[in-house]
Structure 1
């Protein structure tokens, strides 16, 4: 295997695989390094929601918080377009369906929040409007009578988390990318005009050294840890979130469902299973030093599983009669200010990062702008709000 490449991508989730495919399509000499297996972690463990409206967590503290989170809307809009054509460009289905999303309100206060949120989103260019009354009942007859209004965004939907990242990895490999699993980066040093990465083989082979002019960090929950290898602070907040899949049932929910007043994400898969999530926490394991231990499975919390099920059954009563098939925990990462980290690392020439926000949803946009940066081109959008150095400036 080669020891010198143009670009190293660290991480084999959706973002890393999308990066590898886009770079290989542009004929870059690339190696992707994944510490475990492709799609093993967050990208393969989430529910595949393509949320382009602001999510509940982005506005649960009020409109001031929502206004900050809305600064990521250019990434939302770009990703919506890219998801819509990604399968055709790749030549392989990613299970993408964009039949619209609804964020629900069950009282006047929540409805008022939807109107204010929608006005904010429209100011950024998102197609969204609030519906109620007979239009709501006609659009979503499966909803409970407790739902008084909903903001409708026609471009929201879902992708298949089981197949999306592996399909992109296969596409990258077909174009010549070197995809290496069980390959953990344990050191990164500057070596002249290149970066020298020490890679530990998960099968026990001797450590290898890889040289590259460009390094792209697509490491998800390990982003902060990878930053320490470069003596750079990349603050992220890891989250362990609960999800439940039901038994298959006849198709009756064509939309992606969110809620303006509680943690809820609900959709029906192409196979007919209902996928229920939305941010109910699980317990992350902690190591002896008090740091999150991502090598150990997070622990389900009974009140989260029950609370998530109650929230779903209250607004879509039919869900209460469908048996659960399995419940699991997926990990993800956000940043302290809810905006993603996207861009070059100050003082580290040729090193770029993307993480945070709605990382699965935003993966195609993250990959696109990082490819532009790696090629020395100006990105399609202003990335200043997502600058990884912004936290250092606050210290």
Structure 2
């Protein structure tokens, strides 16, 4: 049997691409080297981002931010789609969008937030600047004395354990086939498409989408395609359950931090702190302690909170933080769905667009700026 589309990778990008393509009537096979949602899609902290991240803005500057800001319309589109997905997919994804607050640690960093917010607004993203009085009034849980912050009302969180499995379930109901434990070992161009050696079998497909996350560069290399992708081991921690305190996604400019409270009461503490590599990613307890101390510095109500679990995962990154999306010119029919760092946020809208491209249709968002 020849499939219309083979999708490589069983994370959010892969399962969503398979879902949208199968829903459109295509014959789809999803190839996963282990099992679904075991990579970054199921191991991230579930943050729904829209603001330009502060750490690369500080390091790379305003010119970088203006170039990077072309992704913001994708975030805006995808967050709107997130708000409809629970009804469309018929399941609870834990999606909540009550806003995200980026707190400035110093007056100089507040000035940088002002500059960054102007770039974000130019792309249509609503960002409200708060002064010290606003923080005291609207965020009384914060340590006093910070000069201000930037609030984006569409940011929030979702449950990474639920999203890819639900996309997969609906994709299979639409006719998609899943091959678990099927690592892709070779891809050969043949008449009418591609022959893919996956596990112990060969799959034939007219077109292929590479949504393999941190392994995407290895997959692309099987066709002689170089993808400038790096793999980064990072980690996340969750605390014991506490009464409701924080309804927003919280960031801090002075060091890497994302902080949010799950509906069950635990606080998810992340922000990209490094894990160690020992055959695979493992938790670095030094990062756990520093990440926790930073959260406690920002929110004194967490002074005595206990960490109950920490985990590590590999995420993909590009040097300019921009995604790589679309058909590879030198290999017609081979598409990349690679969104570094913020792929959980952008995944639904980008995967819908990639599915459309792969089926020869016009996508509803412009991916041209991110073409391979």
Q: Report the TM-score, using the length of structure 2 for normalisation.
A: 0.96
1:269 paired residue among 262, 265, 285: 262
1:36 matched to which residue of 2? Answer: 34
8 Å CA contact 2:21–2:356 kept in 1: the answer is no
2:12 matched to which residue of 1? Answer: 14
Distance 1:319 1:32 in 2: 42
Distance 2:55 2:167 in 1: 29
- Deviation per CA, 1:81-106: give whole Å up to 9, x if none: 11111111111111110011001102
8 Å CA contact 1:52–1:77 kept in 2: the answer is yes
1:48 paired residue among 20, 42, 46: 46
Q: Tell me which moved more, 376-385 or 323-332.
A: 376-385
Distance 2:20 2:244 in 1: 34
8 Å CA contact 1:60–1:261 kept in 2: the answer is no
1:375 paired residue among 351, 356, 359: 359
1:249 paired residue among 220, 227, 242: 242
Matched, 1:145 2:149: no
SS in 2 for 1:251: coil
SS in 1 for 2:160: coil
SS in 2 for 1:125: coil
Distance 1:135 1:108 in 2: 15
Matched, 1:212 2:205: yes
Distance 1:140 1:196 in 2: 56
SS in 2 for 1:382: coil
Please show how residues 144-293 of structure 1 align to structure 2 within 5 Å.
Answer: 144-200=143-199, 207-285=200-278
8 Å CA contact 1:58–1:69 kept in 2: the answer is no
8 Å CA contact 1:55–1:258 kept in 2: the answer is no
Distance 2:145 2:272 in 1: 22
Shift of 1:284: 2.9
Gaps of 5+ in 2: none
Shift of 1:163: 0.8
Distance 1:381 1:366 in 2: 8
- Deviation per CA, 1:236-282: give whole Å up to 9, x if none: 01111121100111111000011222100000111111000001111
Shift of 1:328: 1.4
Shift of 1:134: 3.2
Distance 1:242 1:265 in 2: 12
SS in 1 for 2:73: helix
Distance 1:272 1:302 in 2: 23
Q: Tell me which moved more, 240-249 or 133-142.
A: 133-142
Aligned length: 370
8 Å CA contact 1:146–1:315 kept in 2: the answer is no
Q: Report the TM-score, using the length of structure 1 for normalisation.
A: 0.91
Distance 2:369 2:145 in 1: 38
8 Å CA contact 1:42–1:331 kept in 2: the answer is yes
SS in 2 for 1:104: strand
Distance 1:261 1:133 in 2: 16
2:328 matched to which residue of 1? Answer: 345
1:308 matched to which residue of 2? Answer: 291
Change (3 A) 1:168 1:280: same
Gaps of 5+ in 1: 201-206, 286-295, 389-395
8 Å CA contact 1:187–1:197 kept in 2: the answer is yes
Distance 2:225 2:166 in 1: 32
Shift of 1:12: 0.4
